[in-house]
């Protein structure tokens, strides 16, 4: 039995986490996991609590987290950066908010390829900007691809491009070639890029390429955001890392003063994760790939479709076969499975649902089987 098995629906509900707040339905929506975190992180956090480590951020911990981040991206992805190009923030979205509020003139245009993580679609308008959604394409092999022609057409009048890799919700891990195409468009049209790599720890390290590592010119227009919060399940501890290199270091300096402070317990968790979490992460990723294979084999004989995710624990399921307006609502009411409704991830995706499979395998199996029974 794996260390990730064994959290039943009842156990999860008793922990009173957000994802499991429904009385009857199984929680497969918000991006948190049912696995707690790595034992080394748990131990460090217990000790911090018993030491009363509950004050403001000490300088040594800020430094330790920046060093750990730089060392992790080099070790896992071969991206060599200096620790002083890393800044702590309370969340990944903090970086996007800082760019929207302090790097763009009001009324700017933000390109968001869809389907997309929900806040990418609604945050820009809160700062007086316009979002251009560029729907993506499915190729002949059933793989989600960015629509480069659509992006290029939108880029002529745009100011910021939101890149998400690994891609929530499709689970794609973009190739070097795909990332270069994005970068070439950004350079040609002088776009800023918010590059969200929060899910990178949940990709095979040999498959994930940090966007900025591809070309020094890409660094000049990019703010990269990463965190231990998805891979190590620490979202509630509020710590993320913004990385700016090349010309962006200077450009971002005044903007970064608007970032909210990271929480010290989150920084401690991130430091331990990035210093010594590789083994736990490898086991986690292997378990998640097992869940992917299971779901893939169950869906193969059903009316539901997905394109097999390459990274992360999110699956993007086409539920058009259900023949209803709002499949997420139908699955919640009639199959006791709570997921994110496709409509919230972009226009034209009303028949999709986003399924979080970071649960124990038998929980995943029971939920998918109930969905298949409903859909046929
Ligand atoms: C792609 C992506 N970016 C950002 C976030 C949110 O991160 P944070 O809580 O650090 O803002 C999430 C959370 O699910 C996410 O999936």
Atom number of ligand 1 nearest to Cα 168? 1
Asked whether residue 2 is domain-assigned, the answer is no
> Residues 189, 261: one domain?
yes
Specify the CATH number for the domain of residue 246. Answer: 3.40.640.10
Asked whether residue 6 carries a pLDDT value surpassing 90, the answer given is no
Show which of 275, 303, 323 is a domain's final residue. 275
> Residues 341, 259: one domain?
no
- Give the tens place of pLDDT for each residue, 115-153: 999 999 999 999 999 999 999 999 999 999 999 999 999
Asked whether residue 1 is domain-assigned, the answer is no
Asked whether residue 155 is domain-assigned, the answer is yes
Pocket test for ligand 1, best of 18, 198, 239, 314 (most atoms within 8 A of CB): 198
Task: State the distance from the centre of ligand 1 to the C-alpha of 19, rounded, in angstroms.
Answer: 15
Share of the chain above pLDDT 90, in %: 99
Asked whether residue 68 is domain-assigned, the answer is yes
In angstroms, the CA 376 to CA 374 distance is 6
CA angle 150, 154, 159 (to 5 degrees): 140
Six-digit token string for 107: 């009324």
Pocket test for ligand 1, best of 19, 27, 28, 92 (most atoms within 8 A of CB): 92
In angstroms, the CA 214 to CA 16 distance is 43
Task: State the distance from the centre of ligand 1 to the C-alpha of 360, rounded, in angstroms.
Answer: 22
> Residues 315, 361: one domain?
yes
Range of the domain at 343: 9-30+278-375
Task: State the distance from the centre of ligand 1 to the C-alpha of 198, rounded, in angstroms.
Answer: 7
Which pLDDT score, from 0 to 100, does residue 280 have? Answer: 98
> Residues 221, 282: one domain?
no
Nearest in space to 118 (alpha carbons), one of 93, 81, 82: 93
Asked whether residue 36 is domain-assigned, the answer is no
> Residues 164, 230: one domain?
yes
Share of the chain above pLDDT 70, in %: 100
Q: Let me know if 48 is exposed, middle or buried by CB neighbors in 10 A (0-12, 13-18, 19+).
A: middle
Task: State the distance from the centre of ligand 1 to the C-alpha of 229, rounded, in angstroms.
Answer: 8
User: What is the number of structural domains in the chain?
Assistant: 2
Task: State the distance from the centre of ligand 1 to the C-alpha of 226, rounded, in angstroms.
Answer: 9
Mean pLDDT of 26-50: 98
Mean pLDDT of 17-32: 97
Residue 27 · residue 339 · CB < 8 Å? no
CB atoms within 10 A of CB 344: 16
Q: Give the pairing type, strands 26-27 and 337-338.
A: parallel
Show which of 275, 299, 314 is a domain's final residue. 275
Which pLDDT score, from 0 to 100, does residue 142 have? Answer: 93
> Residues 289, 358: one domain?
yes
Atom number of ligand 1 nearest to Cα 240? 10
In angstroms, the CA 100 to CA 243 distance is 17
Average pLDDT, the chain: 98
Confidence (pTM): 0.98
Mean pLDDT of 60-71: 98
> Residues 228, 88: one domain?
yes
Show which of 242, 275, 308 is a domain's final residue. 275
- Give the tens place of pLDDT for each residue, 245-277: 999 999 999 999 999 999 999 999 999 999 999
CB atoms within 10 A of CB 251: 16
Nearest in space to 177 (alpha carbons), one of 143, 223, 227: 143
In angstroms, the CA 169 to CA 184 distance is 24
Which parts of the chain fold into alpha helices (H)? Answer: 9-14, 39-50, 59-77, 92-102, 118-126, 148-155, 176-188, 216-219, 248-256, 264-276, 278-300, 327-335, 361-375
Asked whether residue 376 carries a pLDDT value surpassing 90, the answer given is no
Task: State the distance from the centre of ligand 1 to the C-alpha of 93, rounded, in angstroms.
Answer: 6
Which pLDDT score, from 0 to 100, does residue 342 have? Answer: 98
Six-digit token string for 33: 């996991």
Specify the CATH number for the domain of residue 287. Answer: 3.90.1150.10
Asked whether residue 41 is domain-assigned, the answer is no
Task: State the distance from the centre of ligand 1 to the C-alpha of 323, rounded, in angstroms.
Answer: 31
Mean pLDDT of 184-208: 98
Mean pLDDT of 327-344: 98
Six-digit token string for 292: 């992917």
In angstroms, the CA 242 to CA 227 distance is 9
Mean pLDDT of 279-292: 98
Nearest in space to 34 (alpha carbons), one of 46, 50, 51, 17: 17
Residue with the smallest CA separation from ligand 1 atom 9 is 91
Residue 163 · residue 173 · CB < 8 Å? no
Nearest in space to 113 (alpha carbons), one of 43, 38, 60, 167: 167
Atom number of ligand 1 nearest to Cα 90? 10
Asked whether residue 38 is domain-assigned, the answer is no
Residue with the smallest CA separation from ligand 1 atom 14 is 31
Ligand 1 site residues, Cβ closer than 6 angstroms: 31, 91-93, 117, 164, 168, 196, 198, 227, 229, 235, 240
């Amino acid at each position: 039995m794996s260390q990730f098995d064994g959290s039943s629906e009842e156990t999860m509900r008793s922990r009173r986490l957000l994802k499991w707040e429904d009385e009857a339905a199984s929680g497969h929506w918000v991006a948190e996991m049912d696995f707690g975190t790595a034992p080394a992180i748990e131990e460090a956090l217990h000790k911090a609590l018993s030491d009363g480590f509950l004050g403001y951020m000490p300088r040594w911990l800020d430094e330790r987290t920046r060093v750990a981040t730089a060392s992790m991206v080099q070790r896992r992805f071969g991206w060599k950066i200096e620790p002083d190009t890393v800044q702590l923030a309370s969340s990944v979205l903090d970086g996007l908010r800082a760019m929207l509020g302090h790097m763009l003139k009001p009324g700017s245009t933000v390109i968001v390829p869809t389907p997309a993580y929900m806040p990418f679609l609604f945050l820009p308008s809160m700062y007086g900007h316009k979002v251009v959604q560029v729907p993506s394409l499915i190729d002949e092999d059933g793989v989600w691809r960015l629509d480069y022609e659509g992006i290029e057409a939108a880029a002529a009048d745009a100011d910021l491009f939101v890149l998400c890799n690994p891609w929530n919700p499709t689970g794609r891990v973009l190739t070097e070639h795909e990332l270069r195409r994005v970068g070439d468009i950004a350079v040609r049209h002088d776009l800023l890029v918010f590059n969200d790599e929060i899910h990178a720890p949940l990709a095979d390290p040999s498959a994930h390429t940090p966007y900025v590592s591809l070309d020094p010119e890409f660094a000049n227009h990019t703010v990269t955001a990463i965190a231990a919060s998805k891979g190590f399940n620490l979202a509630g501890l509020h710590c993320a890392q913004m990385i700016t290199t090349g010309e962006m270091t200077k450009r971002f300096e005044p903007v970064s003063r608007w970032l909210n402070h990271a929480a010290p317990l989150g920084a401690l968790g991130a430091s331990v994760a990035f210093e010594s979490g590789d083994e736990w992460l490898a086991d986690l990723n292997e378990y998640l790939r097992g869940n992917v294979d299971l779901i893939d084999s169950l869906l193969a004989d059903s009316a539901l479709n997905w394109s097999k995710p390459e990274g992360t624990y999110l699956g993007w399921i086409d539920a058009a076969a259900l023949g209803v307006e709002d499949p997420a609502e139908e699955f919640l009411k009639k199959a006791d499975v709570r997921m994110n409704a496709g409509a919230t991830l972009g226009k034209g995706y009303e028949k999709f649902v986003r399924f979080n499979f970071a649960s124990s395998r038998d929980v995943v199996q029971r939920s998918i089987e109930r969905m298949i029974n409903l859909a046929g």
